[in-house]
Amino acid sequence: MKPILEVRNIGKKFRLQHQSRGYLSLRERLVSAIRFERNETEDFWALTDVSFDVQQGESIGIIGRNGAGKSTLLKILSKITPPTTGKIISRGRTASLLEVGTGFHPELTGRENIFFNGSLLGMKRKEIKNKFDEIVDFSGVEKFLDTPLKHYSSGMQLRLAFAVAAFLEPEILIIDEVLAVGDAEFQKKCLGKMEDVSKSGRTILFVSHNMAAVQSLCTKSILLKNGKLQFINFSTEVIQEYFNQIEGNLKNHSGILEFNQNNSTKPIKKIEILCDGKNSNTAHMGCQLEIRVHFKTTTYLDAPVLGVIFKDGQGIPMIGVNNKHYAGNIAEHPISEGCISMSIPYLTLFEGVYHTDIHFGNGYSDYEILQDCFEFTVEPLKFASGEIPDKRFNRLFIKEIEWTLDSK
């Protein structure tokens, strides 16, 4: 059987203008035509020579760092922008969901928006009518169906938007990062719905930074790097490769990482990881873990906030903390340069490899986010018995448990 999607040598070139004036204006065009002046342009290939096949019923994840070309690839696959080179042969009805709620109009009521949005996504009027009740049920906004959308809360808008998209029935569904929005429960609901879709034999192309979602939804994945297809294989392996690459140069750190010394827009200058008081990239279960972030900002901060997220090898967050939640404002006076640190008396992570996100900000917005900025290993700890709890049953480590035995 022929593959449902054949992607052959796709490339996309953008022309960068080095005038930084935003929109093209006619005057500039005319003036430069008269002066025989050539705008300084530079060609930028967002994608080069990307080829792959997708079989009917397969779910493919597309991963890569920001700027790797994921969104450009999806835009080409959904016919929004044409490729510069190569071709794609598609053998099915395609619907793309690059954003939830495209075309939602604040003045229209919920009911009207369902029809307009559904039709934009490629549903026929009859289809929408048939599924209308289900859509409304799924969204849970039946009470507000005849209220203009502008009076909806953002959560309600999101639910309604996803509900419409959830009832699409194309043979190929292209989804971009739509799960990045909404609360945890909503995300779970969306993922569940998407799993149903993929189980019903339809083909899904899914872009996400959420490795856990890619892992559970997609059997195969594609890794893009700098516009090139680097690796295509089973998701587990591709995700592993992705993490390896990210940390390739950070893996062998000694517990001290230095950044952006001369970049004033990026405040984080240095990060230190200390285990029991010593700089190290390995910790052991139950040790005292300290993370120090040295920063320098251009303006004074009233309340600096450090956020730290530990994620496991699959990218699933394990612990996420910040000082705003735990201690409130810890600054006695406004500060522009210093070191903010967190110290955990004993580390509750089980043995394994962990990735860390660092957020630094003023409590309202992040000044800098370092995603997966370092990896550290938690070594097992031997108990008095000489044995350790089984890794299969533990993700967290509890240092002290009182065991008692009473005889009757």
Partner 1 sequence: MPEYIEYKIEPPSTAKILHWKELWLYRELFYFFTWRDIKVKYKQTLLGFLWAILQPLFMMIIFTFFFGRALNIPSQNLPYPLYVFSGLLLWNMFSAGLTNASNSMVNNAAIIKKIYFPRLIIPVSSILVALFDFLMGFGIYTGLLVYYAQPVAWSAAFIWPLALILTVVATMGLGSWLSALNIKYRDFRYVIPFLVQVLFFLTPVIYPVSMLKYPFLQYILVCSPMYAAIELFRYPLTDAMPDIYFMTASLTSGVVFLFIGIFYFKQTENFFADYA
Number of residues that bind partner 1 (CB under 8 A): 45
CB of 156 to partner 1, least distance (A): 19
Neighbouring residues of 13: CB distance < 8 A, sequence distance ≥ 6: 43, 44, 45, 46, 84
List Cβ neighbours of 156 (8 Å cut-off, separation of 6 or more).
139, 141, 144
Q: Per-residue contact track with partner 1, 136 to 175, x per CB under 8 A?
A: ------------x--------------------x-x----
Nearer to partner 1, 129 or 278 (CB): 129
Report whether 343 contacts 217 (CB < 8 A).
no
Question: Least distance to partner 1 from the beta carbon of 143, Å?
Answer: 20
At 288, the amino acid letter reads Q
Check binding of 79 to partner 1 (CB under 8 A).
yes
Q: Locate 397 and state its tokens.
A: 């480590």
Q: Does 119 bind partner 1 (CB under 8 A)?
A: yes
For partner 1, the closer CB: 58 or 368: 58
Cα distances (Å, whole numbers) of residue 269 to 76, 292, 297: 39, 11, 10
Residue number, 128 or 301, with CB nearest to partner 1: 128
When the beta carbons of 172 and 285 are compared against partner 1, the nearer one is: 172
CA 177 to chain centre: 7
> Nearer Cβ to partner 1, position 69 or 304?
69
Using CB under 8 A as the binding rule, whether residue 56 contacts partner 1 is answered as: no
Residue 372 CA: distances (Å) to CA of 90, 96, 255, 271, 390: 36, 29, 15, 13, 27
Euclidean distance between CA atoms 176 and 173, whole angstroms: 10
The verdict on 111 binding partner 1 (CB under 8 A) reads no
* Beta carbon of residue 48, minimum distance to partner 1 (angstroms, whole number): 14
Among 18, 23, 385, 406, binds partner 1 (CB under 8 A): 23
Of 112, 195, 351, 357, the one binding partner 1 by CB under 8 A: 112
Contacts for 226 with CB less than 8 Å, ≥ 6 apart: 67, 68, 69
Minimum Å gap between C-beta 66 and partner 1 is 18
Write down the least CB distance from residue 201 to partner 1, Å: 12
* Three-state secondary structure call for residue 112: helix
CB of 220 to partner 1, least distance (A): 21
Distance CA 76, CA 8 (A): 12
Q: Whole-angstrom Cα distance, residue 343 to residue 341?
A: 7
What is the nearest approach in angstroms of partner 1 to the Cβ of residue 257?
37
Contacts of 172 (CB under 8 A, 6+ apart): 4, 5, 54, 90, 92, 93, 94, 95, 202, 203, 204, 205
Using CB under 8 A, pick the residue from 24, 31, 339, 396 that binds partner 1.
Answer: 24
From the list 262, 250, 278, 276, the residue with the least C-alpha distance to 376 is: 250
Instruction: Write out the DSSP string of 340-396.
Output: EEEEESS--BPSEEEEEEEEEESSSSEEEEEEEEEEEEEE----TTS----GGG-SB
Stretch that binds partner 1, among 57-65, 77-85, 271-279, 389-397 (CB under 8 A): 77-85
The binding track of 80-109 with respect to partner 1, each residue x by CB under 8 A or -, is xxxxxxxxxxxxxx--x-xx--xx-x-xx-
C-beta of 198 vs 297, nearer to partner 1: 198
Would you say 160 or 306 has its CB closer to partner 1?
A: 160
Yes or no: say if 346 and 287 are a contact pair by the CB < 8 Å rule. Answer: yes
**Residue 4 or 275 having the CB closest to partner 1:** 4
Measured from the CB atom, the residue of 123 and 238 that comes closer to partner 1 is 123
Structure tokens at 275: 């285990």
Q: Which among 34-42, 119-127, 228-236, 285-293 is the span making contact with partner 1, rule CB under 8 A?
A: 119-127
Length, in residues, of the chain: 408
Contact between 322 and partner 1 by CB under 8 A: the answer reads no
Q: Which residues bind partner 1 (CB under 8 A)?
A: 14, 23-27, 29, 75-93, 96, 98-99, 102-103, 105, 107-108, 112, 115-116, 119-121, 124-125, 148, 169, 171
